[in-house]
Amino acid sequence: MAQEHSDQAAPTALITGVLGQDGSLLATELSAVGHRVVGVARPGSVRRPGSIPPGVEVVEADLCDDAAVETLLDQWHPQQIYHLAAFHHSSQEPAVSAVEAKQAMLRHNFLSTQTLALALLRRENEARLVFASSSQIFSGDTGVRRVDEDSHRNPQTLYGHCKSWSMDLLAFLRRESGLHFSSAILFNHESPRRPQVFVTRKISTAAARAARGLPVDLQLLNIGARVDWSSAHDVVRALRLMADADAPADYVVASGVLHSVRAVLDVAFGHVGLEWQRYTQYEEDRDAPALVGDTQRLCQTLGWQPEVSFQEMIVAMVEHDLALAKA
């Protein structure tokens, strides 16, 4: 059990999902500017060495447990809460059935939001809550679809439905009770901390291994598919701006630009002076429906602008994986 802290001068930020890409980056940045940071991890979570900066307290708690969540609030008295914890797909749970995977999805992506929001309501807690939603609340059926906060939602996955339901609940409580609840509609965002199951890290890892003369097995589906990719560092900065804003609101967080998987290959392998065609097997190279985010509200209201380019983002990942391959 974590110890009660007496230093009330520094603002306290509570981050759920602190062991993930966004949570660990956010913990690092908030800690660097003087926040007292408490990270919440699922019971039994495996912590990657170096993922959490010194001074950040990590506690384990079931976010679907009312008593556990209320204990967190009573013990740490956070001024800001970043609810980033999420369950992405069944591969996060070993050997589970389809029904169990759906149960996990509902628990981690909707019930946890409900439990946290209602605990704040019961406590009449004035903490500012920022929830990590997803572009999966939308669907891109044909062509390129540009979406903003008011665009029609049509999720095609249970993950997207859970994120949409959570947004609706938080918006309702915001209107009804005046709580400072905001949702960040996050498009794909990458960094060296992105797990290797995602296509960008698959490619950056393959480029680094090829450059080191190591075996490469890079198999992709459609390299013509286009994605709105942002730097996770830019996304984390947007989350902080939302928590600091005078008024709560929902915001699309994206680059506003589409890049193909082929472009990721070009940048990653080009950085190490190799031709990706020698190392890559793929099934298709065709255009496909795509979503692109409209960040006008975020830029105009909170003054946010992306600072890390697509090329810089991919190169940083390759450099990280070069260091790993050398080790």
Q: What is the pLDDT of residues 180-206, one digit of tens each?
A: 999 999 999 999 999 999 999 999 999
Read out DSSP for 99-114? Answer: HHHHHHHHIIIIIHHH
- Three-state SS sequence of 39-82: EEECCCCCCCCCCCCCCCEEEECCCCCHHHHHHHHHHHCCCEEE
For the chain, how many residues are written? 327
Q: Find where tokens 């939603």 sit.
A: 133
What is the distance between the alpha carbons of residues 128 and 174, in angstroms, rounded to a whole number?
Answer: 11
Mean of the pLDDT values across residues 287-306? 96
Confidence of residue 9 (pLDDT cuts 50, 70, 90): low
- Count how many Cα atoms sit within 13 Å of the Cα of residue 195 in the half-sphere of its side chain: 7
Q: Kindly report, residue by residue over 220-275, the tens digit of the pLDDT.
A: 999 999 999 999 999 999 999 999 999 999 999 999 999 999 999 999 999 999 99
Confidence of residue 143 (pLDDT cuts 50, 70, 90): confident
Is residue 189 classed as helix, strand or coil in its secondary structure? Answer: strand
Read out DSSP for 220-245? Answer: EEETT-EEE-EEHHHHHHHHHHHHHS
* DSSP class of 178: -
What is the distance between the alpha carbons of residues 32 and 121, in angstroms, rounded to a whole number?
Answer: 30
On the question of pLDDT at 170 being above 60, the answer is yes
Q: Kindly report, residue by residue over 45-90, the tens digit of the pLDDT.
A: 767 666 677 789 999 999 999 999 999 999 999 999 999 999 875 4
On the question of pLDDT at 125 being above 90, the answer is no
Mean of the pLDDT values across residues 89-97? 54
